[in-house]
């Protein structure tokens, strides 16, 4: 079966760095997405990786290793507003999006 | 209005009621989706419409009935729901090229449904 694994919950301190991991087993691979979802709000797009390596976008970076079926989202200089759920999703060989259950990130002062 | 809008934001209904959820996208996209989001579970894809044609129905019970009158509007008609159907229902849109969705999804803020 197809599966996306990510931690259920993580806690970090304001100003610090946190890494949210995502591992996947899918039938084929056509890209990996990270979305951010604040409580009671719509998921919003953060990043897209289709080739191996690191994609940096301001305080957020996303890394992909296709051979390991692994990605991480790196958040630097954490702010209280970064408290949210972070969803990992993979596009399989049929271009279907397979979703993880999300990681709830709690930022403490 | 911009983006993807959903109404109502909150809905409480009894198991014998009939109600509808509405979604409208102002992005000019050609594909629209209904997802179910339950606590601590992955997003569940329910229905997909490409160019107003339903292309996916992921074994969704018939008590959920989608309708896509045009590429900008999507409805989810609800009838004789069960308490386990209580969840957040998210609408999304995207631009699909040659049948393949390689782009990001744009989500609405969801309709929080409670079935009593």
Does the pLDDT at position B98 exceed 70?
no
Could you read off the pLDDT tens digit of each residue along chain A, which spans 109 residues? 789 999 999 999 999 999 999 999 999 999 999 999 999 889 999 999 999 999 999 999 999 999 999 999 999 999 999 999 999 999 988 888 899 999 999 999 9
| Residue A98 to residue A32: CA distance in whole angstroms | 9
A45 vs B105: CB contact, 8 Å cut-off? yes
B59: left (phi over 0), alpha (psi -120 to 50) or beta: left
Q: Is B59 on the interface with A (CB under 8 A)?
A: no
pLDDT at site A78: 98
pLDDT at site A96: 83
The alpha-carbon gap from B112 to the nearest alpha carbon of chain A, in Å, equals: 9
pLDDT at site B58: 72
Q: Are B34 and B107 in contact (CB under 8 A)?
A: no
Q: Are A6 and A20 in contact (CB under 8 A)?
A: yes
Average pLDDT over residues B83-87: 95
Chain A residues with CB within 8 Å of chain B CB: 4, 8, 30-31, 33, 40-45, 48, 87, 89, 91, 95-102
Three-state DSSP state, B85: helix
Q: Strand B111-115 vs strand B10-13: parallel, antiparallel, or unpaired?
A: parallel
| Lookup: tokens for A67 | 């051979």
| Lookup: tokens for A100 | 């993880």
Nearest-by-Cβ selection for B107 from A8, A40, A43: A43
Q: Kindly state the percentage of chain B with pLDDT values over 90.
A: 72
Q: Are B55 and B66 in contact (CB under 8 A)?
A: no
């Amino acid at each position: 079966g197809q599966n996306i694994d990510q931690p259920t919950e993580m806690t970090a301190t304001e100003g610090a760095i946190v890494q949210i991991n995502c591992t996947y087993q899918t039938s084929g691979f056509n890209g990996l997405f990270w979305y951010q979802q604040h409580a009671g709000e719509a998921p919003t797009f953060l990043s897209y990786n289709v080739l191996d390596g690191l994609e940096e976008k301001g305080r957020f970076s996303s890394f992909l290793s296709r051979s390991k079926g692994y990605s991480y989202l790196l958040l630097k200089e954490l702010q209280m507003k970064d408290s949210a759920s972070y969803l990992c999703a993979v596009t399989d060989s049929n271009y279907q999006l397979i979703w993880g259950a999300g990681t709830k990130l709690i930022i403490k002062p | 209005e911009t983006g993807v809008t959903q109404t109502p934001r909150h809905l409480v209904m009894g198991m014998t009621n009939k109600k509808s959820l509405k979604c409208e996208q102002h992005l000019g996209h050609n594909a629209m989706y209904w997802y179910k989001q339950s606590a601590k579970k992955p997003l569940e894809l329910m229905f997909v419409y490409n160019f107003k044609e339903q292309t996916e129905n992921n074994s969704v019970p018939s008590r959920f009935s989608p309708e896509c009158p045009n590429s900008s509007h999507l409805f989810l008609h609800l009838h004789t729901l069960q308490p386990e159907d209580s969840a957040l229902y998210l609408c999304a849109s995207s631009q699909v090229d040659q049948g393949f969705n390689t782009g990001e999804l744009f989500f609405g803020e969801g309709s929080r449904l409670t079935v009593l």
